[in-house]
Amino acid sequence: MTSTPDLYRKFLACTGVSTDTRQITPGCLFVALKGDTFDGNQFALQALTAGARFVVVDDAAIAAQHQHCLLVTDGLTALQDLARHHRQTLTIPVIGLTGSNGKTTTKELIAGVLSKRFSVYATYGNLNNHIGVPLTVLSLNDTHELAVVEMGANHQQEIALLCTIAQPTHGLITNVGKAHLDGFGGVAGVRKGKGELYDYLAQTGGTVFINSRDQTLTAMYRERLKTLRPETTFAETVFYPGDPVELLQESPVVMYRTNTGQAVTTHLPGRYNFENMLAALAVGHYFGVSDAEANHAVADYNPTNNRSQVVTHGSNTILLDAYNANPSSMAAAVQQFTRQPATRKMVILGDMYELGSESKAEHAALGKLVADGHFDVVVLAGQDMKWALGALP
């Protein structure tokens, strides 16, 4: 059986880590994972043929077939333990980021701002779960001066687990909303689950960034201050926004004025994205990025991957935010679209998943919101959208 220290020595001799044989690069370490419908062990030898230097498997019969097969008790546990071991060799600041909405956009904004001064590694795409976070940590090397690690969850104790892997020194929760209600057990469960980042930072003496205008986040912070033991506390708390930043317009894209009077035009729509920008500016200011450079980075960021994209097609403007949806994000988007100036408006909405017993009520509430928007055309797609349809006139 291969121990974590032995596996780490093999990792250091490799060019990277992959869990997908379609993404094998020469000299990498392949870790075989298992799911409900697949067994990565069955592709281990194929990974070696494709150029992997070593493969990590938890099937003894497979391991016996090649000397570069490394046998472990469980592939996923080995991947997570390897990432923890690697993280402990690094001394750089790691910013842990979670929240119900806006995680990926805020992560990209923070990374863009910090990149003006530092060599930054940030979570690729949305690799933010129990597999993605270890892969992110294992991508860090001596050239990086800062890391921004996005952490997603759909049940309690998952953020706590991811914190033991990423071991953040700083943290930010974007917001707490109605996301993954089924897995978390309701809004109170979401609040508790996201708050595990605050818990970790309090236990380890980390620094937290808190949106002072968000009553839920400030309450979560104060609750923890009351229960902390003398030997555990936050090293520092940064409340934002500090210096006033004035929102000039929220559609079709956000424009704001800085405390120096500079007007900044961005590529992101909506008041909700303005909050994400304020978070990035606060983190940048804390780490010494000049206001001018930070605002430049925010203005330059252009969203992709169906997140908060403003697309022009002929005489039409399309607000494309179709990567994922929950009641909080959907409500914010619909309300924003209601305020969008246009001669004619069409909304196309799909099902919101992982709501459990709350699905009927939440889709009906969305339907009422859509009805109040008085849109010219409404298109609803998905089985649960029948509850939204029932709320339309």
Cα(367)–Cα(203) distance, integer angstroms: 43
Same domain, 68 and 116: no
What pLDDT, on a 0 to 100 scale, did the predictor assign at position 232?
Answer: 65
Residue 273, domain member (yes or no): yes
- What 3-state DSSP class applies to 114? helix
Is the link from the previous residue into 5 a cis peptide, with omega within 30 of 0? no
Indicate if 155 and 254 belong to the same structural domain. Answer: yes
CATH number of residue 69's parent domain: 3.40.1390.10
Torsion sign over Cα 71, 77, 83, 88: negative
Please report, in tens digits, the pLDDT of each residue of the chain (393 residues total): 999 999 999 999 999 999 999 999 999 999 999 988 999 999 999 999 999 999 999 999 999 999 999 999 999 999 999 999 999 999 999 999 999 999 999 999 999 999 999 999 999 988 999 999 999 999 999 999 999 999 999 999 999 999 999 999 999 999 999 899 888 999 999 999 999 999 999 999 999 999 999 999 999 999 888 777 666 678 889 999 877 789 999 988 999 999 889 999 999 999 999 999 999 999 999 999 999 999 999 999 999 888 888 888 898 989 888 888 899 999 999 998 998 888 999 999 999 999 999 999 999 999 999 999 999 999 999 999 999 999 898
Half-sphere CA count of 292, side-chain side, radius 13 A:
0
Q: Which domain holds residue 286?
A: 90-300
Number of domains in the chain: 3
**Cβ partners under 8 Å of residue 332, min gap 6:** 101, 270, 271, 272
**Predicted pLDDT of residue 230:** 62
97 with 61, same domain: the answer is: no
Q: What is the pLDDT of residue 231?
A: 63
In this predicted structure, what is the pLDDT of residue 235?
Answer: 84
CA distance 372 to 393: 10
Residues 250 and 139 in one domain: yes
CB 247 within 8 A of CB 271: yes
**Integer Cα distance of 336 and 9 in angstroms:** 52
Separation between Cα atoms, residue 379 and residue 377, nearest integer Å? 7
34 and 59 share one domain: yes
Cβ neighbours of 291 (radius 10 Å): 16
